[in-house]
Amino acid sequence: MTNKVTTHDIETQLRDELGLTGNVNLIAHVSLPAFGVVEGEAKAVVAALLATAGTVMMPAFTYQTQVIPQVGPPDNAILYGTGDRINRKAEIFRPDSPVHPDCGLVSETLRRDAGTLRSTHPILSFVAQGSQANKLLASQTRQNPLAPIAWLEAHGGFVLLMGTDQRENFSLHLAEQRAGRKAFTRWALTLDDIEELPNIPGCSEGFNAIWMELVEMTTVTHIGMARCEIISLKQLLAYTEERLRIDPNFLLCDKPSCLSCRTREM
Ligand SMILES: [Zn+2]
């Protein structure tokens, strides 16, 4: 037997168990199927987040805009000249481009909400709504796509995972870059150009290796069937950066065929 999860259930848990208030600004990563049955589906989750947090940001990434050039910088975890099929299917980035399915339906639903703002990075845009949304999104530049994470960290913000694991915890990439791990250059179609975009993070398939180590700084609850957890960005980033400096191969995946991780292995 399954009970339906309602907006009210989600709001109550977010407030009472995870401590969300109107002063809390966060980045959320949400898997809708993880809850079980949600009455009102993705809209119900968006409504609950907006009702409880001060500012809610989510990834609105558009990997579908990427193209692969014939040549480019070395050690870039890309096979130049192999993009014929991908390049033909690539889509131009527009402010209303749909979020890539990997970011999930809740992110796409937040994007579609009338009160939501979006940054303009052609691959790694974010959507946000709330009192700090404008400043938060304005911090992102082509050179520094992870700046909104740093902005949240500097303003006491949090990461909220709802039914997702650490592989979705995009903020860990900021700790990687601070610890000196290489990022990559990628290319995306925009209305009048192919833009070259630096500092794009790599594979996150190995990120669950940190999960158990974060237990003491994490607050956990269950909403429906979804494990939900919140963690301070300041603590998360400081710990992860330090950990990566001690073990430079920490958080890389172990797939022999992963160009991204094998390129960055020490
Ligand atoms: Zn990998």
Q: What percent of the chain has pLDDT above 90?
A: 99
**Separation of 261 CA from ligand 1 center, angstroms?**
4
pTM of the model: 0.97
Asked if 76 and 42 count as a contact pair (C-beta separation under 8 A), the reply is: no
Distance 216 CA to ligand 1 centre (A): 27
User: How far does the centroid of ligand 1 lie from the alpha carbon of residue 198, in Å?
Assistant: 19
Three-state SS for 201? coil
- Per-residue pLDDT tens digits for 63-100: 999 999 999 999 999 999 999 999 999 999 999 999 99
CA angle 226, 232, 237 (to 5 degrees): 110
Ligand 1 centroid–CA 228 distance in Å is 25
Q: In angstroms, what is the span from residue 251 Cα to ligand 1's centroid?
A: 9
Using the mean position of ligand 1's atoms as its centre, give its distance from the Cα of residue 53 in Å. Answer: 33
Q: 19 — alpha (psi -120 to 50), left (phi > 0) or beta? A: left
- 172: Cα separation from own chain's centroid: 9
**Distance (Å, whole) CA 191 – CA 88:** 16
Give 185-217 pLDDT, tens digit per residue. Answer: 999 999 999 999 999 999 999 999 999 999 999
Domain boundaries, the chain: 7-264
pLDDT higher than threshold 80 for residue 108: yes
Helices (H), ranges, the chain: 7-16, 41-52, 84-89, 105-112, 133-138, 147-154, 172-178, 233-246, 259-264
Cα(80)–Cα(76) distance, rounded to whole angstroms?
Answer: 9
